[in-house]
Structure 1
C-alpha cells in the first residue's frame, strides 16, 4: 500500500485560510443568533409574519452548513486526503462576489480583506505544486 503523499505548503496554507474564513463566518452566525434571541430589530426586513424575527437564525444555520463543510474539507485537505479542495475553491469564488458587493456597499476594508483572502487561497490551490500533489493523491 502506497502512503498518502503529504500536501505541499501551498495546500496547507490554503486550508488554513479556509479555516480562518470559516471561524469568522461561525462568529458572525453566532452574532445573528444572538440578535434573534435578544429580539433586536432589523429595520431592513419588512414582513407581517412573526417568523421574520428568526431570519438571522435561519441565515446562521445556512452559514454553519456551508462553512462547516468548508472547514471539514480544509482539515481533510491539510491532512493529505483527497477530499476538500472542491468546496474550498467554490467558496473562494463565491467570496470574490461577496467582496464585490462589500465594495459597492461601501465596506471597503472588509471587501479588501475578503478579496485578498479569496485570491490568496485560489492562487495557493491553483499552482503547479498543488496540481502535482492533487494528481498524485488521486492516483493513489
Structure 2
C-alpha cells in the first residue's frame, strides 16, 4: 500500500522555508517514514551540535545584566502606573496637552514594550539567536547615552551605575574573545 513515489519528491528547506542545496527528501506514500532524508546531524543550519553548544560565561553575564536593568525599569513603570492611579502629580513629567494625565501610563507602556523586548532578546541570545544580541546592544548604547544626562542632572550614583553596567555589557558582548568566537560559530 505504501509505494515509493519518485514523481513527488519533498525538497528540503531551511528553517525559513527557503529551498536548500541538500539532498531532496523522497517520501513514502501512506507512511511517516522517509528515505534519503537529510538528518539533523547533516544539516548545517539546524545541526544539534550548533544548537547544543552552551553560551560562554561572558555571554551569560552579558545577558543577565540587561535582564536586571530591564526588571528595574519595569518596576519603575509599575510605580508610574500606581502613582497615576492614586492621583498624585509628578512635577518632572510635564505635558501641555489635554492628555497630560496619561503621560505616566504612556511612559510605563513604552517601558514595558521596550524592556520586555530586551528580556526576550537576552533569552534569545542565550539560545543562540542572533537577533537577541542586536536588541541588547541597541538598548545598552541608549542607556550609556542616558547615563550622561543622569550624571549632569544630579543623579550621579544612578548615572554611574547605568554607565558602568552598559559599558560592561557592551564589552562582554563585543570585545571578549570567547564571546566573539561563540557568536561567529553560532551566527
Q: TM bucket by the smaller chain?
A: over 0.9
Of Structure 1 and Structure 2, which has the larger fraction of its residues in strand?
2
Stretches of structure 1 that go unaligned for 5 or more consecutive residues are none
The runs of 4+ residues in structure 1 deviating greater than 6 Å are none
Q: Aligned residue for 2:64?
A: 16
Q: How has the CA–CA distance of structure 1 residues 132 and 33 changed in structure 2, closer, same or farther, with 3 Å as cutoff?
A: same
Larger Rg over CA atoms? 2
Of Structure 1 and Structure 2, which has the larger fraction of its residues in helix?
1
Q: Which has the higher contact order (CA 8 A, sep 6+)?
A: 1
Stretches of structure 2 that go unaligned for 5 or more consecutive residues are 1-40, 42-46
Q: How has the CA–CA distance of structure 1 residues 8 and 37 changed in structure 2, closer, same or farther, with 3 Å as cutoff?
A: same
Instruction: Give 1:35 shift.
Output: 1.2
- CA–CA distance in 1 between the matches of 2:97 and 2:172? 47
Normalized against structure 2, the TM-score is what?
A: 0.70
Post-superposition Cα deviations, 1:48-83, rounded to whole Å, max 9, x if no partner, equal: 51x211101100111111101100010121233333
1:111 is the counterpart of 2:159: yes
What RMSD over aligned residues (CA atoms) do the two structures have, in Å?
1.3
Normalized against structure 1, the TM-score is what?
A: 0.92
